[in-house]
Amino acid sequence: MQSDTPENLHFDFSPFPELSSERLLLRKLRRNEAPEMLFLRSDERVMRYIDKARTTSIEEAQKWVDMIIDGIDKNELINWGITVKGDEKLLGTLGFWNIRKEHSRAEIGYNLHPDSWNKGIMSEAIGMALKYAFNVMNLHSIDANINPANEASASVLTKNGFVREAYYKENFFYNGNFLDTAVYSILNPAHRK
């Protein structure tokens, strides 16, 4: 089936699209969640395979939260806070950014507090977000760029139907080293021929 042409893609994230399952609620980040974001973007366990500078202050974390919320308000990206129903505590984030409307494609990114690892939370959250991306945003494809050593991330992606499409040798420079990147992607099932 042919998808809408990319020129027809229009995103409106207002009101914010909360997503829920029996267990999880994916909701909009709150401006007062900079302390939780500081943890997620500075903890060495969470950031081990994220080859970006660590967040070092509450002010920097606040700028990050504000940037996400402002991007949502401008319909430039969508990002959810991951919570368990009945508990407001932010466990992690998940979203689509680097949206390329001309290609009907976006990049997925996510993180999760170590206390919530190995409980199926991220896999469940990704499944919910993919349904939204394909059924509501009408994206044709989604990619994920990960550190090849991140076996947990590769596993959660493949559980949700992503396939590894590329492996780039030393294509990314961070912290004085050239690093490899594994690229995973998934196509919208409704758009397959």
Secondary structure class of 122 (helix, strand, coil): helix
Residue 20 near residue 85 (C-beta atoms within 8 A): yes
Q: What is the CATH number of the domain that holds 72?
A: 3.40.630.30
- Residue 124, classed as helix, strand or coil, is helix
What tokens does 33 get? Answer: 């969640």
The residue segments making up the domain with residue 112 are: 6-191
Q: Please give the Cα distance from 189 to 3 (Å, whole number).
A: 11
d(CA 25, CA 16): 13
Say what the pLDDT of residue 5 is. 57
Report how far residue 144's alpha carbon sits from residue 107's, in angstroms, rounded to the nearest whole number: 6
Of residues 148, 164, 159, the one with CA closest to residue 125:
159
Name the nearest CA neighbour of 23 among 130, 128, 159: 128
Inside any domain, residue 1: no
Count the domains in the chain.
Answer: 1
Q: What pLDDT is recorded for position 192?
A: 74
Is residue 154 one of the residues assigned to a domain?
A: yes
pTM for the complete prediction? 0.93
Domain membership of residue 84 (yes or no) is yes
* pLDDT averages per 10-residue partition of the chain, 193 residues: 59 96 97 98 96 96 97 97 96 97 96 97 98 96 97 98 97 93 96 75
**120 within some domain:** yes
How far is residue 70 from each of residues 87, 96, 99, measured CA to CA in Å?
25, 14, 15
